[in-house]
Amino acid sequence: KKATVYPGMDADLTAAGAAYTGLPLSIDGNIITGEALGAAIPFALAIARELAGADAAARVKKAIVYQ
């Protein structure tokens, strides 16, 4: 699987068999990973999109005034 992780922890990620993307957010199938606190909102919106659909995620994004 492709994934991201907190900077400096990528060796542990690759040792576990994942391909480190270095991106703030990575989605591979049903696996969603975020880099750090700075990726919290995109991470949460990705989870909302997976669990409740794109329309629900868009409503949340609009409600929190996230660009």
Give, in degrees to the nearest 5, the angle at Cα 50 between 3 and 24. Answer: 35
Asked whether the beta carbons of 4 and 34 are under 8 A apart, the reply is yes
Lookup result for tokens 């994942």: 18
The structural domain count of the chain equals 1
pLDDT of amino acid 20: 96
pLDDT of amino acid 43: 96
Residue ranges in 1-67 assigned as alpha helix (H): 10-15, 40-52, 54-63
- From first to last of the 67 residues of the chain, give the pLDDT tens digit: 999 999 999 999 999 999 999 999 999 999 999 999 999 999 999 999 999 999 999 999 999 999 9
Domain range for residue 19?
2-63
Q: Look up residue 7 and give its DSSP letter.
A: T
